[in-house]
Amino acid sequence: MRIWIAIIVLVLIDSIGTLLIAQGMKQVGEISSLQPRRLLRVVRRIVTNHLLWTGFIFQASTFFLFLTLLSWANLSLVIPMAASGYVVNVLGAQFLLKEKVTKERWIGTLLICIGVALVSLNSSVG
Amino acid sequence: MSLIVIFKSLGDVCLSHGMREVGKVNPLHPLAMLAVGLRTISDPWVGLAVIFLLMYSLLSLSALSWLDLSYMLPITAINYVLTSLLAWRLLHEEIVATRWAGTLTIALGVLFVSMSEHRKSRQKTLKLSTQCTSFPSYQNESRRHNG
């Protein structure tokens, strides 16, 4: 039971982190130039963006929770379950970031989700 | 996008190679952990991996500034395929049938998304170009009406 709750929390924290970073980068604005002065301005905007910082904290927490989870359960159990994060991320992108998620993107995401689960099913063998 | 995928896969492969050189980690002994930490920092493969993964992180951040997350996530998943291929060829890892099946399913998913987006962007440019070519004739027509 403890493992399942931890996996659900892991997927949620990971997705929240990714969504915050995506939204934060949209606020920072398009990076279209490699001129040092403009890049410096972008870096300044990244460093001062609260959404990005919160996103980074969530991602760091994901990493530590993932490490903890690996000490409780096998990688071959954790990664297939964590693959559901792809679906949660796209759900978040559709409903929170208001992105237009086409049918093709959904089918592709589901295929990738199944693929990631299959890849890691026998991770203790390879 | 290709650079993001290449940097991530190369980073992972270098990290895996580097950590094998470092040796197995025994988390129970603090002193042994310190030695492993020092060996990890000084390993050139791990250093190279950190550079690759840093480039990957910076590039994916900048890509997120102008791309949809729901597009970027499926497309960058192709790194699973590339990493499997690199692990198989360079690290000589044995890859079982289910893993190849998973890799193929991921490739199929990525192909599905990228092909549909490619088709859509082509349709958009076609629509734009027909609008552009029809614009002068519309102008001529309006001129004729005004005249």
In this prediction, residues B117-129 reach a mean pLDDT of 69
The answer to whether B109 contacts A18, with C-beta atoms less than 8 Å apart, is no
- List, for residues A18-59, the tens digit of each pLDDT value: 999 999 999 988 877 778 888 888 889 889 999 999 999 999
Closest CA to B114 of B75, B81, B77: B75
Q: Where are the domains of chain A?
A: 2-121
The answer to whether B96 contacts A126, with C-beta atoms less than 8 Å apart, is yes
Chain B hits for A90, CB-CB cut-off 8 Å, are 69-70, 73
Q: Can you give the pTM of this predicted structure?
A: 0.75
Q: Which of A21, A115, A116 sits opposite B64 (nearest CB)?
A: A21
Q: Torsion over CA of B75, B76, B77 and B80, rounded to 10 degrees?
A: 140
Spatial neighbors of A105 by CB under 8 A, at least 6 apart, are A90, B70, B71, B74, B113, B116
Res. B139: pLDDT tops 70: no
Least confident range of A2-11, B54-63, B115-124: B115-124
The answer to whether A26 contacts B98, with C-beta atoms less than 8 Å apart, is no
In this prediction, residues B136-143 reach a mean pLDDT of 48
ipTM metric: 0.76
* Helix/strand/coil percentages in chain B, nearest 5: 85, 0, 15
The continuous run of DSSP H or E covering B103 comes out as helix B97-146
- List, for residues B53-106, the tens digit of each pLDDT value: 889 888 888 888 888 888 888 888 888 888 888 888 888 877 788 888 888 998
Percent of chain B with pLDDT over 90: 1
When the pLDDT of each residue in chain B is averaged and rounded to a whole number, the result is 78
- Chain B residues contacting A, CB < 8 Å? 61-62, 64-66, 68-71, 73-74, 77, 80, 84, 93-96, 98-99, 101-110, 112-113, 116-117, 120
Chain A hits for B116, CB-CB cut-off 8 Å, are 102, 104-105, 108
Tokens in use for A49? Answer: 């963006």
Percent of chain A with pLDDT over 70: 94
